[in-house]
């Protein structure tokens, strides 16, 4: 009897020793990322086949590491997202935080929004000053947007163009498919501008712009229009449209009788200019990149 009791206590003690944390306290089972890293409510998230059917990529990278590298959050937070069923790989919800994936070829989403999983891709916002060409080089030595990018090794594409005298938000990336779709009229990504125009403004200007105005190459129209302020002979207006024809904002407002003296682009799809200083860049956030993917169906 004593031997069996001792054996039982030793077994219980050994078990506690294996589960114990500092000071012999029991290790707590909980969400991924807590001290019970491998189990949630007694289920092994790393190996339990009932959690999902995604096949691990040989030599792949652990899913939570990919998420963390993409800026989703800390490794622990990413493990929690996986355990809560909020992460998809190639359309399948993955609940094993030890799942191994190929971030270069698989599509990974969090809460239905794709994340930028490839580490070689760059996504930048630039506040282009006036008097700068939307090109990477100029044989006449004029200022170009490349002058504001530093010595970057990547070959970046500019998403669409801004006129020489137009200021504001430009997107640059080496993600060729995203750049192509953002610039293609088929996807109708909206762009918003602030324009300094001649005043006074007639009451029916908003209606005319949204209904459409005939230009030499066809009818053009605004999606939204509002007067920000009006004083004397000048007014500041905000106009949103999804067209990309050359000089479209200037031509549209001029045809309506209100030539533009200054034009600043403040938004491209979900990305805003914010307080970015002229001539400076910033990296897009993971959320912004995911919203750009969603805007063009990627």
Active site members: 163
Per-residue burial over 49-61, b if 16 or more Cβ lie within 10 Å, else e, is: eebbebeeeeebb
- The HSE-up count of residue 164 (CA atoms within 13 Å, CB side) is 4
Q: How far lies 146's CA from each of 126, 127, 128, 196, in Å?
A: 10, 12, 10, 27
Q: Are 85 and 43 in contact (CB under 8 A)?
A: no
Phi, psi of 290 (to 5 degrees): -60, -40
Q: Are 235 and 223 in contact (CB under 8 A)?
A: no
d(C-alpha 122, C-alpha 78), whole Å: 22
Q: How many CB atoms lie within 10 A of CB 84?
A: 14
Q: Are strands 108-110 and 100-101 parallel, antiparallel or unpaired?
A: unpaired
**Which residue do the tokens 């990278």 mark?**
61
């Amino acid at each position: 009897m004593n031997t069996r009791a001792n054996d039982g206590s030793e077994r219980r003690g050994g078990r506690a020793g294996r589960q114990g944390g500092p000071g012999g306290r029991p290790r707590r089972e909980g969400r991924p990322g807590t001290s019970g890293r491998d189990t949630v409510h007694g289920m092994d998230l790393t190996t339990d086949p009932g959690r999902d059917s995604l096949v691990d990529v040989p030599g792949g990278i652990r899913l939570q590491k990919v998420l963390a590298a993409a800026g989703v959050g800390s490794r622990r937070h990413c493990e929690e997202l996986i355990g809560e069923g909020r992460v998809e790989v190639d359309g399948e919800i993955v609940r094993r935080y030890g799942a191994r994936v190929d971030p270069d070829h698989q599509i990974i989403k969090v809460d239905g929004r794709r994340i930028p999983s490839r580490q070689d891709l760059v996504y930048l916002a630039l506040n282009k000053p006036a008097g700068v060409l939307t090109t990477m080089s100029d044989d006449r030595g004029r200022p170009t947007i490349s002058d504001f990018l530093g010595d970057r090794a990547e070959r970046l594409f500019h998403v669409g163009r801004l006129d020489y005298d137009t200021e504001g938000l430009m997107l640059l990336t080496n993600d060729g498919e995203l750049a192509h779709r953002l610039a293609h009229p088929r996807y109708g990504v909206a762009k918003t501008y602030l324009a300094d125009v001649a005043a006074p403004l007639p009451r029916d200007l908003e209606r005319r712009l949204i209904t459409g105005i005939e230009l030499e190459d066809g009818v053009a129209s605004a999606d939204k229009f509002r007067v920000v302020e009006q004083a004397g002979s000048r007014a500041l207006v905000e106009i949103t449209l999804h067209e990309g024809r050359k000089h479209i904002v200037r031509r549209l407002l001029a045809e309506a009788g209100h030539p533009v003296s200054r034009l600043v682009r403040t938004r491209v799809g979900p990305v805003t200019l914010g307080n970015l200083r002229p001539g400076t860049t910033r990296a897009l956030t993971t959320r912004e990149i995911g919203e750009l993917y969603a805007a063009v169906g990627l």
